[in-house]
Amino acid sequence: MNMTKIAILGAGTGGAMTANILRRKLDSDVDITVVDKSTNHLYQPSFYLIPFGYLEAEEQSRDVSELFGEGVEFVQDEVTGVDPDEKVVDLADGELEYDYLVVATGHRLDPTAIPGLLEGWQETDSVYPFYHYDAAMEMADALEEFDGGRFVVTQPDTPIKCPGAPLKMAMLADDYLRRQGIREESEVIMTRNAEHHFGVQPYRDKLYQIWDERDIQFEANFSVEEIDPDEQVVHAADGRELEYDFLAPVTPQFGQKAITENSPLTEGSDDGEYVTIDQHTLQHTEYDDVFALGDCENAPHSKTAAAARKEAHVVANNLESHLQGLPMNDEYDGYAACPLLTEKGKAMVAEFDYDEPISAPVESKMNWIMDVNVLPSVYWNLWLRGYDPLP
Ligand SMILES: Cc1cc2nc3c(=O)[nH]c(=O)nc-3n(C[C@H](O)[C@H](O)[C@H](O)COP(=O)(O)OP(=O)(O)OC[C@H]3O[C@@H](n4cnc5c(N)ncnc54)[C@H](O)[C@@H]3O)c2cc1C
């Protein structure tokens, strides 16, 4: 019997969810293979909670083999390129033929893209790029030693996943310093190379109000050019300088080189960094048998696990229709959600789609409990396994 082959690149949020949803939908004559270079799946939304001790680092990772049941084959290998004309994925150790392809390779973090960032992280005790799991863990120890001063959060000029994460870092740091009794002798400052600190209303105005009340400063239109870890200064492209005692920089983010340099799948997207797809069907604009979701593609949604979760259902439904020769009827509406943790025990959920905001800009204890105490186990036990009571 000739098996139909689906290859899924990436066993992160989007890839793992899609594989498990597809497995449940499709007959056993469809072969599903997931490739990832890592055998470790991390719960990334924990990375701004680990530094403050609100989640335990050891509980935020699972072996990828635990994520998939029978009927999903996992291959640990590095994808090095894709030839969508020949329908072949190049791997570091061989190749993989496919009939249908799902790309979910996420963002590539490059700490060398800002001079001084990597050196500061590796060689000093004051730079913690918390988008890396290791740095988030190291930051927990460093914060215990921190006795006050200027706490700075910077953002790169590239698009970033979870654009709310730097704001959460600033607000949780402010709250932490208060709890430690050292806020009086400290400053908390966040930079962004944009006019505003958060893109979506009405959450932005509510955040400005909170930041004013708590004296959290925002440095607008600040393009980070270089970090001088010896002098503890961040240099901006326009000549501004920002001294720091403790720096939490967000690492610059790009597409994976295997896709951007060794495949035609990103041709035509901004800077050639993103897989070009239809923003509703999530099908590639040139190659009918290719779909993409999550951080790696160019649909104009906020790059979050919440978005990938919704997209996984759309990809699975449309891929099923497509392989049966039926019209693709499912549409992704741009849904994304960002729980904005404003202080320990309080959060506001920014929830929106391509067109409009969905939730009210209200802080509550329930939002914190949902995000910190409930969602991690929903993520591991339901969503990642392809179960979703509210798809
Ligand atoms: C600090 C931080 C906080 C966040 N907070 C939130 C939040 O509160 N809420 C929220 O919804 N989202 C949050 N996110 C974002 C969320 O984690 C991502 O948007 C989500 O994981 C994207 O899923 P993905 O499948 O596209 O990519 P990922 O989950 O990153 O998975 C990509 C996978 O592809 C693999 N891969 C990449 N290149 C190759 C290659 N060449 N060969 C083989 N394998 C490869 C990687 O190893 C990885 O396993 C946060 C992220 C960070 C870093």
User: If you measure from the C-alpha of residue 356 to the centroid of ligand 1, how many angstroms do you get, rounded to a whole number?
Assistant: 25
**pLDDT tens, residue by residue, 119-156:** 999 999 999 999 999 999 999 999 999 999 999 999 99
**pLDDT tens, residue by residue, 167-212:** 999 999 999 999 999 999 999 999 999 999 999 999 999 999 999 9
Confidence of residue 1 (pLDDT cuts 50, 70, 90): low
What DSSP designation does 291 have?
Answer: E
Task: Give me the catalytic one of 338, 341, 349, 372.
Answer: 338
- Please report the pLDDT score of residue 368 as a whole number: 97
Pocket test for ligand 1, best of 17, 66, 296, 304 (most atoms within 8 A of CB): 304
- Return the percentage of the chain with pLDDT > 90, whole number: 95
User: If you measure from the C-alpha of residue 153 to the centroid of ligand 1, how many angstroms do you get, rounded to a whole number?
Assistant: 21
Q: CA 162 to CA 143: how far, in whole Å?
A: 23
User: What DSSP element (H or E) covers 123?
Assistant: helix 117-123
What lines the ligand 1 site, CB under 6 Å?
Answer: 10-15, 35-38, 44-45, 47-48, 78-79, 104-106, 131, 161-162, 165, 256, 258, 294-296, 303-306, 308, 338-339
For the stretch 23-49, what's the b/e string if a residue is b when 16 or more beta carbons lie within 10 angstroms of its beta carbon? beebeeebbbbbbbbeeebbbbbbbbb
- Please report the pLDDT score of residue 198 as a whole number: 92
Per-residue DSSP letters for 212-276?
Answer: HHHTEEEE-S--EEEEETTTTEEEETTS-EEE-SEEEEPPPEE--HHHHTS-STTTTSGGG-SB-
Task: Give me the catalytic one of 162, 170, 290, 384.
Answer: 162
Domains and CATH numbers, the chain: 4-106+255-335 (3.50.50.60), 124-253 (3.50.50.60)
User: If you measure from the C-alpha of residue 372 to the centroid of ligand 1, how many angstroms do you get, rounded to a whole number?
Assistant: 18
Number of the ligand 1 atom closest to the C-alpha atom of 259: 41
296 in active site:
no
Average pLDDT of span 285-293: 98
Confidence of residue 27 (pLDDT cuts 50, 70, 90): confident
Contact 127, 231 (CB under 8 A): no
User: If you measure from the C-alpha of residue 241 to the centroid of ligand 1, how many angstroms do you get, rounded to a whole number?
Assistant: 32
Residue 389 has pLDDT above 80, yes or no: no
Closest CA to 5 of 37, 33, 39: 33
Average pLDDT of span 272-284: 97
Average pLDDT of span 350-364: 94
For ligand 1, atom 51, the nearest C-alpha belongs to: 44
User: If you measure from the C-alpha of residue 298 to the centroid of ligand 1, how many angstroms do you get, rounded to a whole number?
Assistant: 15
Residue 390 has pLDDT above 80, yes or no: no
Average pLDDT of span 332-337: 96
Lowest mean pLDDT of 53-57, 64-68, 87-91, 386-390, name the range: 386-390
For ligand 1, atom 27, the nearest C-alpha belongs to: 106
Average pLDDT of span 70-76: 96
User: If you measure from the C-alpha of residue 43 to the centroid of ligand 1, how many angstroms do you get, rounded to a whole number?
Assistant: 9
Amino acid at 274: Y
Question: What mean pLDDT is reported for the chain?
Answer: 96
Q: Could you give the C-alpha distances from 152 to 50, 192, 245, in angstroms and in order?
A: 18, 11, 8
Give the number of C-alpha atoms closer than 13 A to the C-alpha of residue 175, restricted to the C-beta side. Answer: 19
Average pLDDT of span 249-268: 97
User: What DSSP element (H or E) covers 171?
Assistant: helix 165-179
- Please report the pLDDT score of residue 281 as a whole number: 98
Backbone angles phi, psi at 6, to 5 degrees: -110, 125
- Please report the pLDDT score of residue 379 as a whole number: 97
- Return the percentage of the chain with pLDDT > 70, whole number: 99
Residue 310 has pLDDT above 80, yes or no: yes
